[in-house]
Structure 1
Protein backbone atom coordinates (compact mmCIF):
# COMPACT_ATOMS: atom_id res chain seq x y z
CA UNK A 1 0.00 0.00 0.00
CA UNK A 2 1.32 3.43 -0.90
CA UNK A 3 1.65 5.93 1.99
CA UNK A 4 0.46 9.49 1.70
CA UNK A 5 3.17 10.72 4.06
CA UNK A 6 6.19 9.36 5.85
CA UNK A 7 4.31 9.63 9.13
CA UNK A 8 1.47 7.42 7.90
CA UNK A 9 3.92 4.60 7.14
CA UNK A 10 5.77 4.87 10.47
CA UNK A 11 4.85 3.10 13.67
CA UNK A 12 2.68 5.38 15.81
CA UNK A 13 3.62 5.99 19.43
CA UNK A 14 1.16 4.90 22.03
CA UNK A 15 -1.26 7.59 23.11
CA UNK A 16 0.30 7.81 26.53
CA UNK A 17 3.78 6.26 26.87
CA UNK A 18 4.61 4.73 30.23
CA UNK A 19 6.60 7.14 32.33
CA UNK A 20 8.49 4.22 33.79
CA UNK A 21 10.42 4.03 30.51
CA UNK A 22 11.48 7.63 30.78
CA UNK A 23 12.59 8.23 34.42
CA UNK A 24 13.55 11.84 33.86
CA UNK A 25 10.00 12.70 32.92
CA UNK A 26 8.69 11.90 36.44
CA UNK A 27 11.78 12.85 38.43
CA UNK A 28 10.80 14.78 41.59
CA UNK A 29 10.96 18.50 41.10
CA UNK A 30 14.04 20.23 42.48
CA UNK A 31 12.98 23.56 43.99
CA UNK A 32 15.29 26.57 44.04
CA UNK A 33 14.91 26.92 47.82
CA UNK A 34 14.16 24.38 50.45
CA UNK A 35 10.59 23.22 50.19
CA UNK A 36 8.24 24.31 52.88
CA UNK A 37 4.65 23.78 53.69
CA UNK A 38 3.91 27.29 52.63
CA UNK A 39 5.02 26.85 49.01
CA UNK A 40 3.49 23.66 47.55
CA UNK A 41 2.17 25.45 44.42
CA UNK A 42 5.66 26.75 43.56
CA UNK A 43 7.15 23.29 43.98
CA UNK A 44 4.48 21.73 41.73
CA UNK A 45 4.89 24.46 39.14
CA UNK A 46 8.63 23.84 38.98
CA UNK A 47 8.11 20.11 38.55
CA UNK A 48 5.58 20.52 35.73
CA UNK A 49 7.93 22.95 33.97
CA UNK A 50 10.78 20.41 33.94
CA UNK A 51 8.43 17.61 32.94
CA UNK A 52 7.07 19.67 30.03
CA UNK A 53 10.58 20.45 28.80
CA UNK A 54 11.57 16.78 28.71
CA UNK A 55 8.33 15.83 26.91
CA UNK A 56 9.01 18.55 24.37
CA UNK A 57 12.57 17.32 23.82
CA UNK A 58 11.38 13.72 23.46
CA UNK A 59 8.80 14.65 20.85
CA UNK A 60 11.33 16.75 18.95
CA UNK A 61 13.78 13.84 18.89
CA UNK A 62 11.03 11.45 17.77
CA UNK A 63 9.94 13.70 14.91
CA UNK A 64 13.58 14.21 13.91
CA UNK A 65 14.06 10.46 13.60
CA UNK A 66 10.93 10.15 11.49
CA UNK A 67 12.17 12.92 9.19
CA UNK A 68 15.51 11.14 8.78
CA UNK A 69 13.79 7.91 7.76
CA UNK A 70 11.62 9.80 5.27
CA UNK A 71 14.63 11.56 3.72
CA UNK A 72 16.56 8.28 3.54
CA UNK A 73 13.68 6.63 1.70
CA UNK A 74 13.48 9.58 -0.68
CA UNK A 75 17.17 9.26 -1.57
CA UNK A 76 16.79 5.52 -2.25
CA UNK A 77 13.99 6.09 -4.76
CA UNK A 78 15.17 6.18 -8.34
CA UNK A 79 12.43 7.01 -10.83
CA UNK A 80 12.68 5.37 -14.27
CA UNK A 81 14.13 7.74 -16.85
CA UNK A 82 11.88 8.77 -19.68
CA UNK A 83 12.56 7.28 -23.12
CA UNK A 84 11.55 8.66 -26.48
CA UNK A 85 11.62 5.26 -28.20
CA UNK A 86 10.87 1.83 -26.77
CA UNK A 87 14.23 0.44 -27.90
CA UNK A 88 16.07 2.81 -25.56
CA UNK A 89 14.86 0.93 -22.46
CA UNK A 90 16.82 -2.26 -23.09
CA UNK A 91 15.54 -4.24 -20.11
CA UNK A 92 11.90 -3.64 -21.00
CA UNK A 93 12.59 -4.06 -24.74
CA UNK A 94 13.57 -7.72 -24.26
CA UNK A 95 11.34 -8.53 -21.26
CA UNK A 96 8.91 -10.66 -23.30
CA UNK A 97 11.71 -12.96 -24.49
CA UNK A 98 12.63 -14.56 -21.17
CA UNK A 99 12.89 -18.35 -21.28
CA UNK A 100 12.38 -18.44 -25.07
CA UNK A 101 14.60 -20.37 -27.46
CA UNK A 102 14.71 -21.88 -30.92
CA UNK A 103 12.21 -20.73 -33.51
CA UNK A 104 9.93 -19.31 -30.80
CA UNK A 105 12.69 -16.89 -29.80
CA UNK A 106 13.42 -16.08 -33.45
CA UNK A 107 9.77 -15.23 -34.14
CA UNK A 108 9.48 -13.04 -31.05
CA UNK A 109 12.63 -11.18 -32.03
CA UNK A 110 11.29 -10.73 -35.54
CA UNK A 111 8.11 -9.15 -34.20
CA UNK A 112 10.21 -6.88 -32.02
CA UNK A 113 12.83 -5.58 -34.48
CA UNK A 114 11.26 -5.91 -37.91
CA UNK A 115 8.99 -2.84 -37.62
CA UNK A 116 11.38 0.09 -37.91
CA UNK A 117 11.80 3.44 -39.55
CA UNK A 118 12.99 3.24 -43.15
CA UNK A 119 15.50 5.89 -44.19
CA UNK A 120 15.92 7.83 -47.40
CA UNK A 121 19.15 7.44 -49.31
CA UNK A 122 20.43 10.82 -48.14
CA UNK A 123 19.64 9.92 -44.53
CA UNK A 124 21.68 6.73 -44.91
CA UNK A 125 24.64 8.74 -46.21
CA UNK A 126 24.48 11.08 -43.24
CA UNK A 127 23.93 8.26 -40.74
CA UNK A 128 27.01 6.26 -41.73
CA UNK A 129 29.17 9.34 -41.24
CA UNK A 130 28.06 9.31 -37.61
CA UNK A 131 27.71 5.59 -36.91
CA UNK A 132 31.13 4.66 -38.29
CA UNK A 133 33.02 7.82 -37.38
CA UNK A 134 36.63 7.32 -36.37
CA UNK A 135 36.04 9.24 -33.15
CA UNK A 136 33.15 7.36 -31.56
CA UNK A 137 32.90 9.79 -28.65
CA UNK A 138 32.59 12.86 -30.88
CA UNK A 139 31.23 11.50 -34.16
CA UNK A 140 29.85 14.77 -35.52
CA UNK A 141 33.24 16.45 -35.33
CA UNK A 142 35.20 13.39 -36.50
CA UNK A 143 36.65 14.09 -39.97
CA UNK A 144 36.76 10.44 -41.04
CA UNK A 145 35.01 7.07 -41.04
CA UNK A 146 36.46 3.57 -40.56
CA UNK A 147 36.22 1.17 -43.50
CA UNK A 148 35.00 -2.30 -42.56
CA UNK A 149 37.52 -4.44 -44.51
CA UNK A 150 40.61 -2.25 -44.40
CA UNK A 151 40.10 -0.69 -40.94
CA UNK A 152 41.57 2.47 -42.44
CA UNK A 153 40.27 5.91 -41.59
CA UNK A 154 39.16 7.79 -44.69
CA UNK A 155 37.79 11.34 -44.91
CA UNK A 156 34.03 11.73 -44.82
CA UNK A 157 34.38 14.11 -47.75
CA UNK A 158 35.49 11.22 -50.00
CA UNK A 159 32.14 9.44 -49.73
CA UNK A 160 31.12 8.21 -53.16
CA UNK A 161 34.33 9.26 -54.89
CA UNK A 162 36.61 6.82 -56.76
CA UNK A 163 39.37 7.24 -54.20
CA UNK A 164 36.95 7.14 -51.29
CA UNK A 165 34.55 4.76 -49.65
CA UNK A 166 32.10 2.69 -51.58
CA UNK A 167 28.72 3.43 -53.14
CA UNK A 168 26.42 0.53 -54.03
CA UNK A 169 23.59 1.01 -56.56
CA UNK A 170 20.36 -0.52 -55.30
CA UNK A 171 18.62 -0.84 -58.65
CA UNK A 172 19.27 -0.68 -62.36
CA UNK A 173 18.27 2.96 -62.74
CA UNK A 174 20.64 5.79 -63.54
CA UNK A 175 23.58 5.94 -61.13
CA UNK A 176 23.07 9.21 -59.26
CA UNK A 177 23.64 10.25 -55.63
CA UNK A 178 19.87 10.29 -55.06
CA UNK A 179 19.59 6.68 -56.26
CA UNK A 180 22.55 5.14 -54.48
CA UNK A 181 23.47 3.77 -51.11
CA UNK A 182 26.87 4.10 -49.51
CA UNK A 183 28.98 1.33 -48.13
CA UNK A 184 29.08 -2.42 -48.08
CA UNK A 185 26.01 -4.63 -47.73
CA UNK A 186 27.23 -7.31 -45.35
CA UNK A 187 24.29 -9.44 -46.49
CA UNK A 188 24.65 -9.14 -50.29
CA UNK A 189 21.80 -7.92 -52.46
CA UNK A 190 21.91 -11.09 -54.56
CA UNK A 191 20.97 -13.13 -51.48
CA UNK A 192 17.48 -11.68 -51.29
CA UNK A 193 17.55 -7.90 -50.72
CA UNK A 194 15.10 -6.35 -53.16
CA UNK A 195 13.54 -3.21 -51.70
CA UNK A 196 14.67 -0.03 -50.00
CA UNK A 197 13.71 -1.16 -46.50
CA UNK A 198 16.14 -4.07 -46.47
CA UNK A 199 18.73 -2.39 -48.68
CA UNK A 200 18.89 0.72 -46.52
CA UNK A 201 18.94 -1.07 -43.15
CA UNK A 202 21.79 0.52 -41.20
CA UNK A 203 22.52 -2.66 -39.24
CA UNK A 204 23.65 -4.21 -42.54
CA UNK A 205 25.64 -1.30 -43.96
CA UNK A 206 29.27 -0.27 -43.41
CA UNK A 207 31.68 2.04 -45.22
CA UNK A 208 33.97 0.07 -47.52
CA UNK A 209 36.86 0.71 -49.87
CA UNK A 210 35.60 0.54 -53.45
CA UNK A 211 38.31 -1.83 -54.69
CA UNK A 212 38.12 -4.12 -51.68
CA UNK A 213 34.34 -4.26 -51.88
CA UNK A 214 34.55 -5.30 -55.54
CA UNK A 215 36.98 -8.02 -54.57
CA UNK A 216 34.57 -9.40 -52.00
CA UNK A 217 31.60 -9.34 -54.38
CA UNK A 218 28.86 -11.60 -53.02
CA UNK A 219 31.07 -14.25 -51.44
CA UNK A 220 29.73 -15.70 -48.23
CA UNK A 221 31.70 -15.40 -45.00
CA UNK A 222 34.22 -17.93 -43.81
CA UNK A 223 37.93 -18.68 -43.66
CA UNK A 224 39.59 -20.36 -46.61
CA UNK A 225 38.72 -24.04 -46.90
CA UNK A 226 41.58 -26.45 -46.24
CA UNK A 227 41.06 -27.82 -49.73
CA UNK A 228 41.25 -24.38 -51.39
CA UNK A 229 43.70 -24.41 -54.24
CA UNK A 230 44.18 -20.70 -53.89
CA UNK A 231 43.75 -18.72 -50.70
CA UNK A 232 44.63 -15.04 -50.71
CA UNK A 233 46.06 -13.50 -47.52
CA UNK A 234 45.23 -10.69 -47.30
CA UNK A 235 42.06 -11.03 -49.32
CA UNK A 236 42.97 -7.93 -51.32
CA UNK A 237 46.17 -5.90 -51.43
CA UNK A 238 44.31 -2.97 -49.88
CA UNK A 239 42.47 -5.05 -47.26
CA UNK A 240 43.63 -5.56 -43.67
CA UNK A 241 46.51 -7.99 -43.25
CA UNK A 242 44.41 -10.61 -41.40
CA UNK A 243 41.75 -10.96 -44.10
CA UNK A 244 41.59 -13.96 -46.41
CA UNK A 245 39.58 -15.21 -49.36
CA UNK A 246 39.24 -18.02 -51.83
CA UNK A 247 36.86 -18.47 -54.76
CA UNK A 248 33.76 -18.72 -52.50
CA UNK A 249 34.60 -17.41 -49.03
CA UNK A 250 35.63 -14.13 -47.49
CA UNK A 251 37.05 -13.57 -44.01
CA UNK A 252 37.11 -9.95 -42.76
CA UNK A 253 39.60 -8.56 -40.20
CA UNK A 254 39.51 -10.50 -36.96
CA UNK A 255 38.46 -7.53 -34.85
CA UNK A 256 35.18 -7.12 -36.77
CA UNK A 257 34.29 -10.75 -37.43
CA UNK A 258 31.89 -10.81 -34.50
CA UNK A 259 30.35 -7.51 -35.66
CA UNK A 260 29.66 -8.95 -39.10
CA UNK A 261 28.30 -12.22 -37.68
CA UNK A 262 25.82 -10.34 -35.50
CA UNK A 263 24.78 -8.12 -38.41
CA UNK A 264 23.93 -11.18 -40.52
CA UNK A 265 22.04 -12.75 -37.63
CA UNK A 266 20.01 -9.56 -37.35
CA UNK A 267 19.15 -9.72 -41.06
CA UNK A 268 18.12 -13.38 -40.84
CA UNK A 269 15.74 -12.56 -37.98
CA UNK A 270 14.43 -9.17 -39.14
CA UNK A 271 13.74 -10.42 -42.69
CA UNK A 272 13.49 -14.15 -42.00
CA UNK A 273 9.69 -14.35 -41.92
CA UNK A 274 8.56 -11.38 -43.94
CA UNK A 275 10.01 -8.63 -46.12
CA UNK A 276 7.97 -5.42 -46.44
CA UNK A 277 8.46 -5.37 -50.21
CA UNK A 278 7.42 -8.98 -50.67
CA UNK A 279 10.94 -10.32 -51.01
CA UNK A 280 12.04 -13.83 -50.06
CA UNK A 281 12.66 -14.84 -46.47
CA UNK A 282 16.33 -14.67 -45.51
CA UNK A 283 18.10 -17.55 -43.79
CA UNK A 284 21.53 -18.56 -42.52
CA UNK A 285 22.96 -21.91 -43.48
CA UNK A 286 26.12 -23.98 -43.75
CA UNK A 287 25.12 -24.57 -47.38
CA UNK A 288 24.83 -21.01 -48.71
CA UNK A 289 22.67 -20.62 -51.79
CA UNK A 290 21.72 -17.55 -53.80
CA UNK A 291 18.70 -19.42 -55.15
CA UNK A 292 17.43 -20.28 -51.65
CA UNK A 293 18.53 -16.89 -50.23
CA UNK A 294 20.62 -18.67 -47.60
CA UNK A 295 23.74 -16.82 -46.41
CA UNK A 296 26.59 -18.28 -44.40
CA UNK A 297 28.56 -19.95 -43.21
CA UNK A 298 26.31 -20.35 -40.17
CA UNK A 299 28.73 -22.43 -38.09
CA UNK A 300 31.50 -19.92 -38.77
CA UNK A 301 29.29 -16.97 -37.82
CA UNK A 302 28.34 -18.66 -34.54
CA UNK A 303 32.02 -19.16 -33.76
CA UNK A 304 32.89 -15.55 -34.63
CA UNK A 305 30.07 -14.35 -32.40
CA UNK A 306 31.69 -16.14 -29.44
CA UNK A 307 35.32 -15.28 -30.10
CA UNK A 308 34.75 -11.61 -30.92
CA UNK A 309 32.19 -10.27 -28.39
CA UNK A 310 30.57 -6.85 -28.86
CA UNK A 311 32.98 -3.97 -28.41
CA UNK A 312 32.17 -0.57 -26.97
CA UNK A 313 32.11 0.84 -30.52
CA UNK A 314 29.62 -1.79 -31.68
CA UNK A 315 27.36 -1.14 -28.69
CA UNK A 316 27.44 2.62 -29.28
CA UNK A 317 26.53 2.05 -32.92
CA UNK A 318 23.56 -0.07 -31.89
CA UNK A 319 22.43 2.54 -29.37
CA UNK A 320 22.59 5.34 -31.93
CA UNK A 321 20.67 3.40 -34.57
CA UNK A 322 17.96 2.92 -31.96
CA UNK A 323 17.89 6.46 -30.65
CA UNK A 324 18.46 8.58 -33.75
CA UNK A 325 17.68 6.60 -36.90
CA UNK A 326 15.68 3.37 -37.17
CA UNK A 327 14.26 3.07 -33.64
CA UNK A 328 15.13 -0.61 -33.40
CA UNK A 329 18.09 -2.61 -32.13
CA UNK A 330 20.30 -5.51 -33.14
CA UNK A 331 19.44 -7.97 -30.35
CA UNK A 332 22.61 -9.99 -30.90
CA UNK A 333 24.72 -7.01 -29.87
CA UNK A 334 22.79 -6.70 -26.62
CA UNK A 335 22.46 -10.47 -26.10
CA UNK A 336 25.03 -12.48 -28.09
CA UNK A 337 23.76 -15.61 -26.35
CA UNK A 338 20.55 -15.42 -28.40
CA UNK A 339 22.50 -16.78 -31.37
CA UNK A 340 23.12 -20.15 -29.76
CA UNK A 341 19.61 -20.26 -28.33
CA UNK A 342 18.21 -19.94 -31.87
CA UNK A 343 20.57 -21.77 -34.22
CA UNK A 344 22.23 -24.37 -32.02
CA UNK A 345 18.76 -25.69 -31.23
CA UNK A 346 18.20 -26.65 -34.85
Structure 2
Protein backbone atom coordinates (compact mmCIF):
# COMPACT_ATOMS: atom_id res chain seq x y z
CA UNK A 1 0.00 0.00 0.00
CA UNK A 2 1.43 3.37 -1.03
CA UNK A 3 2.35 5.81 1.70
CA UNK A 4 0.09 8.81 2.16
CA UNK A 5 1.42 11.93 0.42
CA UNK A 6 2.83 14.56 2.73
CA UNK A 7 2.51 18.30 2.32
CA UNK A 8 5.11 20.37 4.16
CA UNK A 9 3.44 23.08 6.24
CA UNK A 10 4.43 26.61 5.34
CA UNK A 11 4.61 27.54 9.01
CA UNK A 12 7.46 25.07 9.51
CA UNK A 13 9.65 26.55 6.76
CA UNK A 14 12.59 28.16 8.54
CA UNK A 15 14.28 30.21 5.80
CA UNK A 16 14.46 30.93 2.11
CA UNK A 17 17.50 29.89 0.18
CA UNK A 18 19.76 32.66 -1.11
CA UNK A 19 18.78 31.98 -4.70
CA UNK A 20 15.08 32.12 -3.91
CA UNK A 21 15.55 35.35 -2.03
CA UNK A 22 17.39 36.91 -4.98
CA UNK A 23 14.68 35.75 -7.34
CA UNK A 24 12.06 37.34 -5.14
CA UNK A 25 13.85 40.67 -5.42
CA UNK A 26 13.71 40.65 -9.22
CA UNK A 27 10.37 38.95 -9.80
CA UNK A 28 7.37 41.15 -10.65
CA UNK A 29 4.91 41.68 -7.84
CA UNK A 30 1.73 39.61 -7.98
CA UNK A 31 -1.34 41.31 -6.62
CA UNK A 32 -4.15 39.09 -5.40
CA UNK A 33 -7.63 40.01 -6.56
CA UNK A 34 -9.41 41.40 -3.50
CA UNK A 35 -12.56 39.69 -2.30
CA UNK A 36 -15.73 41.31 -3.57
CA UNK A 37 -19.39 41.24 -2.63
CA UNK A 38 -21.34 38.32 -4.04
CA UNK A 39 -24.65 40.09 -3.47
CA UNK A 40 -25.81 43.54 -2.44
CA UNK A 41 -29.45 42.50 -2.37
CA UNK A 42 -29.61 42.89 1.41
CA UNK A 43 -27.49 46.03 1.80
CA UNK A 44 -30.44 48.41 2.05
CA UNK A 45 -32.36 46.12 4.41
CA UNK A 46 -30.59 43.41 6.40
CA UNK A 47 -27.13 45.04 6.33
CA UNK A 48 -28.22 48.69 6.30
CA UNK A 49 -26.58 49.42 9.68
CA UNK A 50 -23.28 47.83 8.63
CA UNK A 51 -22.67 49.16 5.13
CA UNK A 52 -19.88 51.74 5.01
CA UNK A 53 -18.30 50.74 8.33
CA UNK A 54 -14.93 49.09 8.97
CA UNK A 55 -12.94 47.60 11.85
CA UNK A 56 -14.57 47.22 15.25
CA UNK A 57 -17.54 49.34 14.18
CA UNK A 58 -18.33 46.92 11.36
CA UNK A 59 -17.82 43.88 13.59
CA UNK A 60 -20.13 45.33 16.24
CA UNK A 61 -22.81 46.22 13.69
CA UNK A 62 -22.70 42.73 12.16
CA UNK A 63 -22.87 41.13 15.61
CA UNK A 64 -26.08 42.99 16.34
CA UNK A 65 -27.53 42.04 12.97
CA UNK A 66 -26.75 38.31 12.96
CA UNK A 67 -27.57 37.79 16.65
CA UNK A 68 -31.25 38.01 15.79
CA UNK A 69 -31.85 34.38 14.89
CA UNK A 70 -34.05 31.37 15.38
CA UNK A 71 -32.16 28.72 17.35
CA UNK A 72 -32.21 25.03 16.48
CA UNK A 73 -31.95 22.00 18.75
CA UNK A 74 -29.08 19.59 18.22
CA UNK A 75 -31.42 16.87 16.98
CA UNK A 76 -33.04 19.25 14.48
CA UNK A 77 -29.69 19.62 12.71
CA UNK A 78 -30.01 16.18 11.14
CA UNK A 79 -32.97 17.14 8.98
CA UNK A 80 -31.73 20.69 8.38
CA UNK A 81 -28.40 19.45 6.99
CA UNK A 82 -30.22 17.21 4.54
CA UNK A 83 -31.62 20.40 3.02
CA UNK A 84 -28.78 22.89 3.40
CA UNK A 85 -26.10 20.49 2.11
CA UNK A 86 -28.10 18.59 -0.48
CA UNK A 87 -26.06 17.43 -3.45
CA UNK A 88 -27.11 19.57 -6.46
CA UNK A 89 -26.54 16.54 -8.69
CA UNK A 90 -28.44 14.03 -6.53
CA UNK A 91 -31.27 15.17 -4.27
CA UNK A 92 -31.09 11.92 -2.29
CA UNK A 93 -27.58 12.76 -1.05
CA UNK A 94 -25.64 15.35 0.91
CA UNK A 95 -22.15 16.62 0.06
CA UNK A 96 -19.56 15.98 2.77
CA UNK A 97 -17.47 19.01 3.68
CA UNK A 98 -13.87 17.79 3.84
CA UNK A 99 -14.01 14.74 1.56
CA UNK A 100 -16.33 16.27 -1.03
CA UNK A 101 -18.08 12.92 -1.38
CA UNK A 102 -21.78 12.57 -2.03
CA UNK A 103 -23.48 10.28 0.47
CA UNK A 104 -27.06 9.15 1.01
CA UNK A 105 -29.08 11.35 3.33
CA UNK A 106 -30.26 8.21 5.09
CA UNK A 107 -26.71 7.32 6.21
CA UNK A 108 -26.64 9.81 9.05
CA UNK A 109 -25.43 8.44 12.37
CA UNK A 110 -22.34 7.44 14.26
CA UNK A 111 -21.11 4.27 12.56
CA UNK A 112 -18.21 3.91 10.14
CA UNK A 113 -19.55 4.80 6.69
CA UNK A 114 -22.14 7.20 8.12
CA UNK A 115 -22.01 10.97 8.04
CA UNK A 116 -22.43 13.05 11.17
CA UNK A 117 -22.50 16.68 12.33
CA UNK A 118 -19.13 18.37 12.02
CA UNK A 119 -18.64 21.50 14.11
CA UNK A 120 -16.23 23.62 12.08
CA UNK A 121 -15.70 25.74 15.19
CA UNK A 122 -14.81 22.82 17.43
CA UNK A 123 -17.11 22.38 20.43
CA UNK A 124 -14.20 22.23 22.86
CA UNK A 125 -12.92 25.68 21.80
CA UNK A 126 -14.92 27.62 24.36
CA UNK A 127 -17.08 24.76 25.70
CA UNK A 128 -19.91 25.30 23.24
CA UNK A 129 -21.69 22.03 24.18
CA UNK A 130 -24.59 20.77 22.08
CA UNK A 131 -27.23 22.71 24.01
CA UNK A 132 -29.14 25.17 21.88
CA UNK A 133 -26.69 27.96 21.06
CA UNK A 134 -23.35 28.15 19.24
CA UNK A 135 -23.02 24.36 19.33
CA UNK A 136 -26.18 24.08 17.22
CA UNK A 137 -25.62 27.08 14.94
CA UNK A 138 -26.21 25.76 11.43
CA UNK A 139 -23.88 28.29 9.85
CA UNK A 140 -20.83 26.32 11.05
CA UNK A 141 -22.16 22.76 11.13
CA UNK A 142 -21.74 20.59 8.06
CA UNK A 143 -22.13 16.90 7.21
CA UNK A 144 -18.91 14.88 7.23
CA UNK A 145 -17.82 11.26 7.19
CA UNK A 146 -17.65 9.90 10.74
CA UNK A 147 -14.02 8.80 10.41
CA UNK A 148 -12.81 12.02 8.77
CA UNK A 149 -14.68 14.05 11.39
CA UNK A 150 -12.85 12.13 14.11
CA UNK A 151 -9.49 12.78 12.45
CA UNK A 152 -10.15 16.50 12.34
CA UNK A 153 -11.26 16.41 15.98
CA UNK A 154 -10.75 19.81 17.58
CA UNK A 155 -7.68 20.81 15.59
CA UNK A 156 -7.20 24.37 14.43
CA UNK A 157 -6.86 25.15 10.72
CA UNK A 158 -3.53 25.57 8.96
CA UNK A 159 -1.69 24.18 5.95
CA UNK A 160 0.36 21.01 5.82
CA UNK A 161 0.68 17.50 7.15
CA UNK A 162 -0.15 14.08 5.73
CA UNK A 163 -3.11 13.30 3.50
CA UNK A 164 -6.24 12.31 5.37
CA UNK A 165 -7.46 8.86 4.40
CA UNK A 166 -10.80 8.98 2.65
CA UNK A 167 -10.25 12.46 1.25
CA UNK A 168 -6.86 12.55 -0.56
CA UNK A 169 -7.13 16.34 -0.72
CA UNK A 170 -7.27 17.23 2.99
CA UNK A 171 -4.19 17.16 5.21
CA UNK A 172 -3.52 16.96 8.92
CA UNK A 173 -0.68 16.96 11.41
CA UNK A 174 -0.48 16.90 15.20
CA UNK A 175 -2.06 20.30 15.76
CA UNK A 176 -3.89 21.40 12.62
CA UNK A 177 -6.16 20.40 9.75
CA UNK A 178 -6.15 21.60 6.14
CA UNK A 179 -9.40 21.09 4.21
CA UNK A 180 -9.59 20.50 0.48
CA UNK A 181 -9.07 23.56 -1.71
CA UNK A 182 -12.71 23.80 -2.80
CA UNK A 183 -13.92 24.53 0.75
CA UNK A 184 -11.02 26.44 2.27
CA UNK A 185 -12.94 29.70 1.92
CA UNK A 186 -16.09 28.10 3.31
CA UNK A 187 -14.18 27.08 6.44
CA UNK A 188 -12.69 30.55 6.86
CA UNK A 189 -16.04 32.29 6.51
CA UNK A 190 -17.73 29.89 8.95
CA UNK A 191 -15.04 30.46 11.57
CA UNK A 192 -15.21 34.24 11.20
CA UNK A 193 -19.02 34.22 11.30
CA UNK A 194 -18.78 32.51 14.69
CA UNK A 195 -16.34 35.17 15.90
CA UNK A 196 -18.82 37.90 14.97
CA UNK A 197 -21.95 36.14 16.20
CA UNK A 198 -20.65 35.09 19.64
CA UNK A 199 -19.09 38.01 21.50
CA UNK A 200 -19.59 36.88 25.10
CA UNK A 201 -22.63 39.07 25.73
CA UNK A 202 -24.87 36.05 26.32
CA UNK A 203 -24.35 32.79 28.20
CA UNK A 204 -21.57 31.69 25.83
CA UNK A 205 -17.88 32.44 25.48
CA UNK A 206 -16.46 35.32 23.44
CA UNK A 207 -15.19 33.46 20.37
CA UNK A 208 -12.24 34.99 18.51
CA UNK A 209 -9.79 33.97 15.79
CA UNK A 210 -6.08 34.11 16.54
CA UNK A 211 -2.90 33.28 14.67
CA UNK A 212 -2.08 30.15 16.65
CA UNK A 213 -2.79 26.44 16.51
CA UNK A 214 -3.26 24.10 19.45
CA UNK A 215 -5.86 26.35 21.10
CA UNK A 216 -7.40 23.43 22.96
CA UNK A 217 -10.28 24.46 25.23
CA UNK A 218 -9.66 28.20 24.85
CA UNK A 219 -12.37 30.13 22.97
CA UNK A 220 -10.05 30.76 20.01
CA UNK A 221 -9.55 29.21 16.60
CA UNK A 222 -6.60 29.74 14.28
CA UNK A 223 -4.71 30.31 12.19
CA UNK A 224 -6.19 33.72 11.28
CA UNK A 225 -3.57 34.67 8.68
CA UNK A 226 -4.23 31.40 6.84
CA UNK A 227 -8.01 31.76 7.10
CA UNK A 228 -7.74 35.22 5.53
CA UNK A 229 -5.75 33.75 2.65
CA UNK A 230 -8.34 31.02 2.16
CA UNK A 231 -11.13 33.59 2.06
CA UNK A 232 -9.34 35.30 -0.84
CA UNK A 233 -8.28 32.14 -2.66
CA UNK A 234 -11.64 30.37 -2.51
CA UNK A 235 -14.49 32.88 -2.95
CA UNK A 236 -18.09 31.87 -2.26
CA UNK A 237 -19.54 29.54 -4.87
CA UNK A 238 -23.13 28.70 -5.77
CA UNK A 239 -23.32 25.88 -3.21
CA UNK A 240 -22.21 28.13 -0.34
CA UNK A 241 -24.47 30.98 -1.44
CA UNK A 242 -27.48 28.67 -1.70
CA UNK A 243 -26.72 27.25 1.74
CA UNK A 244 -26.62 30.74 3.25
CA UNK A 245 -29.96 31.56 1.64
CA UNK A 246 -31.64 28.36 2.82
CA UNK A 247 -30.49 28.95 6.41
CA UNK A 248 -31.84 32.50 6.22
CA UNK A 249 -35.15 31.62 4.58
CA UNK A 250 -36.02 28.33 6.26
CA UNK A 251 -34.14 27.90 9.53
CA UNK A 252 -32.28 30.56 11.50
CA UNK A 253 -33.43 33.75 9.74
CA UNK A 254 -29.89 35.13 9.89
CA UNK A 255 -27.07 35.22 7.35
CA UNK A 256 -23.33 34.67 7.24
CA UNK A 257 -22.22 38.18 6.20
CA UNK A 258 -18.85 36.96 4.91
CA UNK A 259 -20.58 34.92 2.21
CA UNK A 260 -22.46 37.99 1.01
CA UNK A 261 -19.48 40.30 1.54
CA UNK A 262 -16.19 38.36 1.72
CA UNK A 263 -14.35 41.70 1.54
CA UNK A 264 -15.58 42.41 5.08
CA UNK A 265 -13.05 39.88 6.38
CA UNK A 266 -10.20 42.22 5.48
CA UNK A 267 -12.22 45.22 6.64
CA UNK A 268 -12.41 43.74 10.16
CA UNK A 269 -9.19 41.73 10.47
TM-score by length of 2: 0.80
Change (3 A) 1:95 1:301: same
Q: For 1:191, what is the secondary structure of its paired residue?
A: coil
Residues in 1 aligned to 2:184 and 2:86: alpha-carbon distance in whole angstroms: 19
Question: Which of 62, 66, 73 is 1:120 aligned to?
Answer: 73
The match for 1:150 is 99
Conserved? CA contact 1:242–1:253, under 8 Å:
yes
The structure richer in helix per residue is 1
Residue 108 of structure 1 is matched in structure 2 by: 61
Is the 1:147–1:165 Cα contact (8 Å) retained in structure 2?
A: no
Measure how far apart 1:312 and its partner are: 0.7
Match of 2:231 in 1: 305
Match of 2:166 in 1: 238
Instruction: Supply the distance in 2 between the matched residues of 1:324 and 1:291 (Cα, whole angstroms).
Output: 32
Aligned partners of 1:318, 1:116: CA distance in 2, in Å? 13
How far did residue 135 of structure 1 move?
Answer: 1.8
SS of alignment partner, residue 195 of structure 2: helix
Q: Which runs of 5+ in 2 are unaligned?
A: 1-40
| Counterpart pick for 1:287 among 199, 207, 212 | 212
* 1:180-235 deviation per Cα after TM superposition (whole angstroms, max 9, x unaligned): xxx100000110113421111000100011111111111100102xxxxxx31x2x
Distance 2:177 2:197 in 1: 23
- TM-superposed CA distance for 1:96, in Å, is 1.4
Q: Is the 8 A contact 1:154 1:164 kept in 2?
A: no
- Give the Cα–Cα distance (whole angstroms) in 1 for the partners of residues 251 and 118 of structure 2: 18
Matched with 1:334 is 260
Q: 2:185 aligns with which of 218, 233, 258?
A: 258
User: Which of 135, 158, 175 is equivalent to 1:199?
Assistant: 135
Which has the greater radius of gyration?
1
Q: How far apart, CA to CA, are the structure 2 residues paired with 1:148 and 1:326?
A: 20
Decide whether the 8 Å contact of 2:139 with 2:190 is kept in 1.
yes
Q: What is the alpha-carbon distance in structure 2 between the residues aligned to residue 342 and residue 334 of structure 1?
A: 15
Unaligned runs of 5+ in 1: 1-87, 168-182, 225-230
Give 1:187's aligned residue: 121
Q: State whether structure 2 residue 258 is matched by structure 1 residue 322.
A: no
How many residues are treated as equivalent by the alignment?
227
Matched position secondary structure for 2:86: coil
**C-alpha deviation, 1:246, in angstroms:** 1.0
Name the structure where strand makes up a greater proportion of residues: 2
Structure 1: 4+ residue segments shifted above 6 A: none
How far apart, CA to CA, are the structure 2 residues paired with 1:131 and 1:293? 27
1: CA distance, partners of 2:139 / 2:61: 19
Aligned-partner SS, 1:323: helix
1:211 to 133, 147, 154: 147
- The answer to whether the Cα contact below 8 Å between 2:247 and 2:255 also exists between their aligned partners in 1 is yes
Q: Secondary structure at the match of 1:286?
A: coil
The whole-number CA distance in structure 2 between the counterparts of 1:184 and 1:291 is 17
